[in-house]
Chain A
Amino acid sequence: MRIPIAALIGLIFTFAYFFVAIFAPWIAPYGMAEVVSRDVWLPPSSEFLLGTDNLGRDLLSRMIYGGRTTIFIATAATILSFTTGSVLGFLAAVLGGWADQAMSRFVDLIMSIPSLIFALVVLSVTPVTIPILILVMGFLDSTRVFRLARAVAVDINVMDYVEAAKLRGEGRAWIIFREILPNALSPLVAEMGLRFIFMVLFVSTLSFLGLGVQPPEADWGGIVKENADGIVYGIGAALYPAVAIATLAISVNLVADWVLNRTTSLKGGRG
Chain B
Amino acid sequence: MSDKLLKVKDLKIGATVYPPGEKPHDIEIVHGVSFEVEKGKVLGLIGESGAGKSTIGLSAMAYGRGGVKITGGEVWVNGRDILKSNLGDIRALRGGEVTYVSQSAAASFNPAKQIMDQVTEASILQGKFSKKEAEARAVELFRKLGLPDPENIGNRYPHQVSGGQLQRCMTALALCPEPDLVVFDEPTTALDVTTQIDVLMAIKEAIRDTGVAALYITHDLAVVAQVSDDILVLKMGDMVEYGSVDQIINNPQEEYTQALVSVRSINHEEKEPTSEPVLRVQNVTARYKGTNFDVLKNINVELHPGQTLAVVGESGSGKSTLARVITGLLPPSQGRIHFAGRDLSADLAGRSSEDLRELQMIYQMADTAMNPRQTVGTIIGRPLELYFGLKGEEKRKRIIELLDEIEMGVEFIDRYPAELSGGQKQRVCIARALAAKPKLIICDEVTSALDPLVADGILKLLLELQKIEDVAFLFITHDLATVKAIADSIAVMFQGEVVRYGGKTDVLSPPFDDYTDLLLSSVPEMKLGWLEEVIANRKMESAGN
Binding site for B on A (CB under 8 A): 1, 159-161, 163-164, 166-170, 178-179, 182-183, 265-270
Contacts and interface: CB of A to CB of B under 8 A. Distances in A.
A265 B418 CA distance: 11
A167 B418 CA distance: 23
B139 interface: no
A168 B416 contact: no
Given A182-B373, A183-B371, A167 B353 contact: no
A160 B21 contact: no
Given A265-B18, A267-B20, A168 B371 contact: no
B507 to A, nearest CB: 29
A265 B329 contact: no
B329 A168 contact: no
A268 B361 contact: no
A268 B21 CA distance: 13
B20 A265 contact: yes
| Most A Cβ at <10 Å: residue of B359, B360, B374, B432 | B374
B361 A267 contact: no
Interface in B303-358: 327-329, 348, 351, 353, 356-357
- A-B complex: 3 closest residue pairs judged by Cβ atoms: A182-B373, A268-B416, A160-B369
B419 interface: yes
B267 interface: no
B2 interface: no
B386 interface: yes
Nearest to B372: A268
Interface in B370-384: 370-374, 382-383
Contacts of B360: 167
B368 interface: yes
Chain A CB count within 10 A is highest, among B363, B371, B417, B418, for B371
Contact of B371 (A1, A161, A265, A267): A161
Contacts of B382: 168
A1 B22 CA distance: 7
10 contacts: A159-B368, A161-B370, A163-B329, A164-B363, A164-B369, A167-B348, A168-B356, A168-B383, A179-B371, A265-B20
Contacts of A167: 327-329, 348, 356, 359-361
Contact of B368 (A160, A169, A265, A267): A160
A188 B23 CA distance: 27
Contact of B386 (A166, A170, A179, A267): A170
A267 B418 contact: yes
B370 A267 contact: no
Nearest to A266: B20
A268 B417 contact: yes
B454 interface: no
B202 interface: no
Contacts of A161: 368-371
Interface residues of B, number: 32
Given A179-B371, A267-B416, 5 more contacts: A160-B363, A161-B370, A164-B432, A167-B348, A169-B351
Contacts of B327: 167
A170 to B, nearest CB: 7
Nearest to A265: B20
Contacts of B359: 167
B266 interface: no
B412 to A, nearest CB: 14
Contacts of A168: 356, 382-383, 386, 436
A167 B361 CA distance: 8
A263 to B, nearest CB: 10
Contacts of A266: 20
B465 to A, nearest CB: 19
Nearest to B364: A160
B534 interface: no
A193 B540 CA distance: 62
B329 A169 contact: no
A265 B19 CA distance: 9
Contacts of B419: 267
Contact of B21 (A1, A166, A169, A179): A1
B366 to A, nearest CB: 9
A157 to B, nearest CB: 12
B287 to A, nearest CB: 19
B365 interface: yes
Contacts of A182: 371, 373-374
Contacts of B417: 268
